[in-house]
Amino acid sequence: MDVTDADACAAAVEEVLATSERLHGLVNNAGFAQTGAVEDVDDETARAQLELNLVAPARLSRLVLPHFREHRSGRIVNMSSMAGRFTLPLAGWYSASKHGLEALSDAMRMEVAGFGVKVVLVEPGSFRTDIWAHGGESFPEPAFEGYAKAYRRSELVTGNHRLMPDPVWVARTVRHALSTPAPRARYVVGPDAVGGVWAHRLLPTRVTDAAKGTGMGLPAWRRLLP
C-alpha cells in the first residue's frame, strides 16, 4: 500500500483486522531521505518528506490503537534514525521529520501506556540499504557553488553504502522490540549512531557543528566573507 494514501491505509488495516484474530504489533518502517540545504528545498518536496516520514506513521498508529486498546496489549515500533537525535547538514528536512517522529512517539508512549500498549523508537545509523540509492538524482538545484560542492562530496559518501554494516542488526533490534516483555523507549543501532549520540552529549555544539560541516564539505563561513 501507499502509506501516504489515507484511504489505502484504512483499507489495509481493516483487511488485516478482518483476517486476523489479534494484531500484535505495527512497525512503521517506510521512509525516504531527502538531501538538500534548507535554502534549496522547495515546499512541495518538504511536504512530501514530512508526509511519508512523519504523518504516515501517526496515521497508521491511529488506525491500530483502538484494536490494541480493546485487547490491552500491542507494540508500535517507529523507525527513526540517528538523525532523530542530532541534525546533519544537507539533511535538514529529513532530520526534521525524524525529530518530529521522536516527539510524536514520546507523546504516544505516555498516552497509551495505561492501556498496555508500548511504543518503541529504533534509531539506526548508516546501514547497507537503498535509502540513498538515487544519489545525486535527489539533490535539488543548488543556490550557490558551495552547496554544489557539498552535494558532490555527499554523493561520494552515500554512494559507498556497500561498505556500511548489514541491516540485519536493525531487523534483530526490531524483533527484540516486538518480543521482549519490557522494551526500552529507544534503541540506538550502529557504531556511527552510538558515537554520534555520545559526541553530542559530551562536546560543545560549536565542535560538533564544525566536525559535521567539514565532513560534508561545507565551506567555512570565514572563507565566504569579502
The pLDDT, as a whole number, for residue 136 is: 46
Tell me the three cell numbers of residue 37: 540545504
The pLDDT, as a whole number, for residue 225 is: 44
Query: CA angle at residue 138 from 87 to 165, to 5 degrees?
Result: 60
Q: What is the pLDDT of residues 191-205, one digit of tens each?
A: 999 999 999 999 999
Question: Looking up cell 502509506, which residue turns up?
Answer: 3
The pLDDT, as a whole number, for residue 134 is: 53
Classify 139 in phi/psi space as left (phi over 0), alpha (psi -120 to 50) or beta. beta
Query: Does residue 73 carry a catalytic annotation?
Result: no
Q: What is the CATH number of domain 20-218?
A: 3.40.50.720
Q: What is the pLDDT of residues 152-195, one digit of tens each?
A: 877 766 656 667 789 999 999 999 999 999 999 999 999 999 99
Q: Which of 61, 80, 95, 97 is catalytic?
A: 80
Average pLDDT over every residue of 18-32? 93
127 contacts 168 by C-beta, under 8 angstroms: no
Looking at the chain, the whole-number percentage of residues with pLDDT higher than 90 is: 71
Q: What is the pLDDT of residues 96-143, one digit of tens each?
A: 999 999 999 999 999 999 999 999 999 999 888 877 665 445 788 888
Q: Which of 94, 147, 151, 187 is catalytic?
A: 94
9 — pLDDT class (breaks 50, 70, 90): very high
Could you give the C-alpha distances from 86 to 13, 81, 102, in angstroms and in order?
33, 9, 11
Query: Does the pLDDT at position 222 exceed 80?
Result: no
The pLDDT, as a whole number, for residue 165 is: 84
Query: Does the pLDDT at position 149 exceed 50?
Result: yes
Amino acid letter, residue 169:
W
Q: Return d(Cα 207, Cα 59) in angstroms, integer.
A: 38
Query: Does the pLDDT at position 11 exceed 50?
Result: yes
Query: Does residue 94 carry a catalytic annotation?
Result: yes
Query: Does residue 81 carry a catalytic annotation?
Result: no
Domain coordinates in residue numbering, the chain: 20-218
The model's pTM: 0.90
- DSSP classification of residue 219: P
153 contacts 216 by C-beta, under 8 angstroms: yes
Torsion of CA 10, 11, 16, 18, to 10 degrees: 110
Q: Which of 98, 105, 118, 154 is catalytic?
A: 98
23 contacts 74 by C-beta, under 8 angstroms: yes
The pLDDT, as a whole number, for residue 158 is: 61
Give 33-72 as a 3 state SS string.
CCCECHHHCCHHHHHHHHHHHHHHHHHHHHHHHHHHHHHC
Q: Return d(Cα 124, Cα 143) in angstroms, integer.
A: 31
